[in-house]
Amino acid sequence: MAKMDLVDIFKKRTRHPMRPRSSDFIERLFPGFKKMDTGDGSLVAGTCSFMEKDLYVIGQQKPKINDLKSQADLNKLNYGMLTSGDHSTILNILKKVRASDLEKTYIFCMVDTYGADISMESARHFQAFFIAHLIREFLTIPVRTISLVIGEGGSGGALAIQYTDIRGQMDDALYATAPPESTASILFRDAEKINDALTILKPTAKELKKLGVIERIVPSAQNVTNGEEMAGYVNEFLTKAIKDLSKQKIKKLLKKRAERAREFGLLKGSGTLHDIKRYIETPIKHFFRKVPPNIKIVNFSSNVEVGDDYGWSQEINKGQEFIECGGVPGKESRTEGCGELIALNDFQKNFYVCPKCGYSYTLGAEDWIRCLSDEGTFHELYRNLTVEDLLESDSLTGYYRDFLKRQEGRSRFKESLVTGNARINHFQAVMAISEFYYCGGSMGVVFGEKFRRAVDYAIQENLPFISVCCSGGARLYEGISALMQMVKTIESVERLKKTGLPYISILADPATGGAIASYAALGDITIAEPGALVIFTGPRVMESRGFPVDENLVRSQALHRISGDIYHNLNYYHEIRGIQEICERKEMKLALTRYLELYKRTSRQKGKKGA
């Protein structure tokens, strides 16, 4: 391929309307292909014989020119994006694969999508949970697997079927944490700044091979519409991949998948030395209750003749601080809450929830620790780990350094995940809590590594594991390395579950992006606080892409109601169970205690039987 500017590659090649699609490659490479019924959407799948192997083919299908025959086709916003129903179909296919001749069966995935479908319909059918369960399935399925990014790899929609034994990417294909337009919209509030977004995302095959996201780069034709030549290169890649995998035992491949997942984001190295300083011995005891930055304080210390408290019946001490329910710093008028004035101390005791209307502010890690653990028992793990410890200096762009600088002072913690050993009504557990007030609780390489180490610690000490998800999604400034933390945290949860230790996932407000599409969706028990936003793609990005949004439909209560019907439709939801319980913050500790006590009693009974 001739050398081109990255934006030109993206616009003129990666998204060329006549670029070969998955069905084009299937038609040229697999003459005996038996197509499965996947509907008329963006999924194409089927079986064939290839190199005397039973090959299952799963492909994402962007629309071709011939598909756009009417205005309705042109207006279809999720064309080229797999829905929750499509992901359910893939899980059904993988179920069939598990029942086949495992030694003779191979899976080949072709990745080409803007991202997973972000419509309200998919969101209400637990799209994020499907992505997490698919990644876990590809981590654990005992057959040889291959994937190739043939065009565009967008976000979790690509990752859902990309994590395989051999992973390739065509040299003019791009694979990113989020589509460039979405990245530009989120980081720069301007969807047109695609060039800046691509600079941060680093989505090229060469860059991704260096990061270990793919192993092989497949050439593309000089003429991007030359399907015959393109298919020839794909055939060469697939043939070699099958030959290489046939020499390796499945058990060894499963081990390599897990090991590779644990290494994502560790550019400066990893190993035992990184785990020597496991935790700070001094527990976090009495907090100086720093008010989160999104809460507006009203201070009644006015010396004017008619005080600010005029006409209000409650007795006020001079200098006493209050909050106005729904009030936000920097805004004169509120748009949410009831406007009730609440004594700050009382508000903090109620974990920042209005006692009158139930309106709640996002809770930071410090207050979640206070909410869930016995006072003075939380010992923080891996407190001092930062991106400087894990990423090479040239990976930290000027944009990223400026962003990190702006986070200083917003939180007393150094990263967006706080891990620790604590007691909950005397039951000991390991906790991983999102810190929303540091980088929006975003998943980056430190987040993933701290989560992995906390799981290792839980396994070592034989302790239950509890996570609190309060996240805005993957940290876009870290590019694809942030996206791959989804695989890393899922592998960690899978390892935890193999030991028989319980995993309780708490969904706080907001639970979005890569966090809800990975570890947070895999709890043995999933509890959500009232009003928590639970969705893969944030409403602002959905609206910027033209999708209608009704946040009430993807808040925890609505999704909890849908979860009640899951057992009537297990063929669709498979192992997904949604949200089992809605629990207010002040009752959350008691809810955890019930599950921890149940685990302790049942594990004790198992021990007696074993004896």
Q: What tens digit of pLDDT does each residue of 360-407 get? A: 889 999 999 999 999 999 999 999 999 999 988 888 888 899 999 999
Which stretch of 267-281, 307-321, 461-475 has the lowest confidence by average pLDDT? Answer: 307-321
Number of C-alpha atoms within 13 angstroms, CB side, residue 586?
12
The pTM for the full model equals 0.91
Tell whether the model's pLDDT for residue 596 goes beyond 50: yes
Residue where the block lists tokens 């999708």: 547
**pLDDT, tens only, 396-415:** 888 899 999 999 888 989 99
Per-residue three-class SS string for 300-311:
ECCCCCCCCCCC
Amino acid (one-letter) located at 559: L
What's the rounded Cα separation, in Å, for the pair 387 and 404? 10
Distances (CA, A) of 507 to 19, 108, 414: 41, 34, 22
What would the mean pLDDT of 343-359 be, rounded to a whole number? 88
CA 158 – CA 110 distance, rounded (Å): 9
Residue whose entry in the numeric block shows the structure tokens 């260096």? 210
Is-cis flag, bond preceding 510, omega within 30?
A: yes
Complete DSSP assignment for 327-340: --TT-SS-SSS---
> Are the beta carbons of 109 and 153 closer than 8 angstroms?
no
User: Using one digit for the tens of pLDDT, what is the confidence trace for 476-535?
Assistant: 999 999 999 999 999 999 999 999 999 999 999 999 999 999 999 999 999 999 999 999
Is the pLDDT at 329 greater than 60, yes or no? yes
Q: Determine the Cα–Cα distance for residues 79 and 194; give it in Å rounded to an integer.
A: 21
- Give residue 301's pLDDT: 38
pLDDT for 189: 79
For the chain, domains (ranges, CATH) are: 6-263 (3.90.226.10), 295-304+312-359 (no CATH), 365-610 (3.90.226.10)
Enumerate residues 6+ apart whose C-beta is below 8 A from 119.
77, 78, 83, 547
Q: How far apart are CA 24 and CA 22, in angstroms?
A: 5
CA atoms within 13 A on the CB side of 173: 31
pLDDT at residue 311, as a whole number: 37
CB atoms within 10 A of CB 211: 16
Please give the pLDDT value at position 609.
56
Containing 424, the helix (H) or strand (E) segment is strand 417-424
Report the range of poorest mean pLDDT among 34-48, 216-230, 294-308, 402-416: 294-308
Between CA 221 and CA 219 the distance in angstroms is: 7
pLDDT above 60: residue 243: yes
Least confident of 197-206, 324-333, 409-418, 435-444: 324-333
> Using an 8 Å Cβ cutoff, are 365 and 418 in contact?
yes
**Rounded Cα–Cα distance for residues 379 and 160 (Å):** 35
- Give residue 67's pLDDT: 79
Instruction: Quote the pLDDT of residue 307.
Output: 35
Model pLDDT, residue 496: 98
Instruction: Please report where in the chains the tokens 């003779």 appear, as a residue.
Output: 104
Provide the percentage of residues in the chain whose pLDDT is more than 90: 68
533 within 8 A of 554, measured Cβ to Cβ: yes
Distance linking the first and last C-alpha atoms of the chain: 66
The size of the chain, in residues, is 611
Cα separation, 383 vs 59, in Å, equals 42
Q: What is the mean pLDDT of residues 347-370?
A: 90
Residue 204 pLDDT > 90: yes
Mean pLDDT over each residue of the chain, to the nearest integer? 89
- Give me the percent of the chain exceeding a pLDDT of 70: 90
Residue 176 phi/psi, 5° resolution? -140, 165
Residue of 541, 476, 486, 487 lying closest to 514 (CA atoms): 486
| Residue 508, both tokens | 């706080």
Give the pLDDT mean for 430-450: 96
Written as one letter, the residue type at 537 is T
- Tell me how far CA of residue 604 lies from CA of 48, 601, 607, 608, in angstroms: 50, 5, 5, 6
| Res. 281: pLDDT tops 50 | no
Cβ(416)–Cβ(434) below 8 Å: yes
pLDDT at residue 608 in the model: 56
Distance of alpha carbon 298 from alpha carbon 341, whole angstroms: 9
